[in-house]
Structure 1
């Protein structure tokens, strides 16, 4: 697939994954302001001995089926050891997304486009979104693994992985596998802002190869925005309701 092609919901519905690009601008003042949020991430305190340098923030949004995006309070994130062999069975609490990032027009546009695509593939419903801003950093003398857990699923219904930026780095090839199969169905090194992979996390697995710095560069990084989709069956049971909306 050409990197410039738009994402297709029927690819997600039929094949369990789609690769393409969100049809949104990635130039101008609003994009630069939004992308600068990755300069304000904080070190991931849970990496331990993992061969990864990673900065991040995390937030949660309730995506109502009527299109309302309601920010939620609380940044607790849990995966079982069965899902995440590297970091599972521990409650991780990350630093929240900044108010400036939440107020960004480009941020809400990305969420609306992603939700619309998943709704078209899966059927319109209410979703609790887990939103990860992540920068993986490589130094001149050490590569860094964007996914230290290796080939994996994330324990959600759908996952959307959006590239925001790459800076002086090589590597970071994404691989998409059907669960139980050894051969990758798709391999791509995303290079364009808002190039994305959208996956059915119940049927597919994915992995990302390590990143390294470009020759003679002291530091390089790869910025991504990851959105986890979980169906909400009862809105009254969602923790951290604010009953407000993102613009």
Structure 2
């Protein structure tokens, strides 16, 4: 079951500290040191190998802006109180109500590799996500299972073209919860996350900088967006790697 995984007083305190701003403001920023401590309680191992898998993503060929700066892999899971089950590979779909740039079509991406789909780092992140959203959802509204989408993203930046982590701009994803985990920033500047309420008033901002820095967003309550990233040294590769996990009622 989920609860005993986070039985340590430190992990439980960190989770409670995250859930307070989620309840009050609809978003939270969890710094890397705290995130690592919590994930270790959930079985985190092999982070370096997990992060290295971002070197083997496919080009996103569905970018309506014509860009080729985004690489990704994709997988779906079903999360219940006791199990994490990977679903058969399927397309990613968002309506144009939520994604005016790339929505309205089924997008087939390369699947997350089997070794990464069952990796201890990913399992720990999914266990944490399930713990948080279970706490934050009233018992009468909790589904039997959560439809969970996992995206490995790499945004590449060049001297002549910035990379856009959210090319659709300020947006909601059409889900219930969004977790964004920083994996690696290499030679990039900017990439600031901004949070806006449903009236489009900015209510927060921060930058995911260190591996495991994490943003958690209640997608029903706030919009989010990320500024483009640019190379610091134009002669070196520049990219921003993140793991995005979205969850919604089945």
TM-score, scaled relative to structure 1: 0.85
Give the number of the structure whose residues are more often helix, by fraction.
2
Specify the SS of the correspondent of 1:117: helix
Specify the SS of the correspondent of 2:181: strand
> Which of 170, 177, 195 is residue 158 of structure 1 equivalent to?
177
Number of residue equivalences: 224
CA–CA distance in structure 2, aligned partners of residues 88 and 19 of structure 1:
27
Tell me by how many angstroms 1:9 deviates: 1.6
CA–CA distance in structure 2, aligned partners of residues 6 and 223 of structure 1:
24
Displacement over 6 Å in runs of 4+: none
> Which of 200, 203, 210 is residue 228 of structure 2 equivalent to?
210
Equivalent residue number for residue 192 of structure 2: 173
Equivalent residue number for residue 241 of structure 1: none
Tell me by how many angstroms 1:185 deviates: 1.0
Tell me by how many angstroms 1:49 deviates: 2.7
Equivalent residue number for residue 221 of structure 1: 239
Query: Is 2:202 aligned against 1:192?
Result: no
Give the number of the structure whose residues are more often strand, by fraction.
1
> Which of 4, 10, 30 is residue 20 of structure 2 equivalent to?
10
RMSD: 1.9
Query: Is 2:69 aligned against 1:53?
Result: yes
Aligned positions of 1:88-103 closer than 5 A: 88-103=103-118
Query: Is 2:30 aligned against 1:20?
Result: yes
Instruction: Say if 2:200 and 2:223, in contact at 8 Å, map to a contact too.
Output: no
- Where does structure 2 lack aligned partners over 5 or more consecutive residues? 1-12
Equivalent residue number for residue 244 of structure 1: none
Deviations 1:32-71 (A, max 9, x none): 11111101111001014345600000000100123x1011
Equivalent residue number for residue 245 of structure 1: none
Equivalent residue number for residue 76 of structure 1: 91
Specify the SS of the correspondent of 1:192: coil
CA–CA distance in structure 2, aligned partners of residues 207 and 110 of structure 1:
22
CA–CA distance in structure 2, aligned partners of residues 193 and 140 of structure 1:
24
CA–CA distance in structure 1, aligned partners of residues 90 and 181 of structure 2:
20
- Where does structure 1 lack aligned partners over 5 or more consecutive residues? 233-247
Equivalent residue number for residue 8 of structure 2: none
TM-score, scaled relative to structure 2: 0.84
Give the direction of change, closer, same or farther, for the CA distance of 1:208–1:9 in structure 2 (3 Å limit). same
Instruction: Say if 2:45 and 2:120, in contact at 8 Å, map to a contact too.
Output: no
Instruction: Say if 1:168 and 1:217, in contact at 8 Å, map to a contact too.
Output: no
Tell me by how many angstroms 1:112 deviates: 0.6
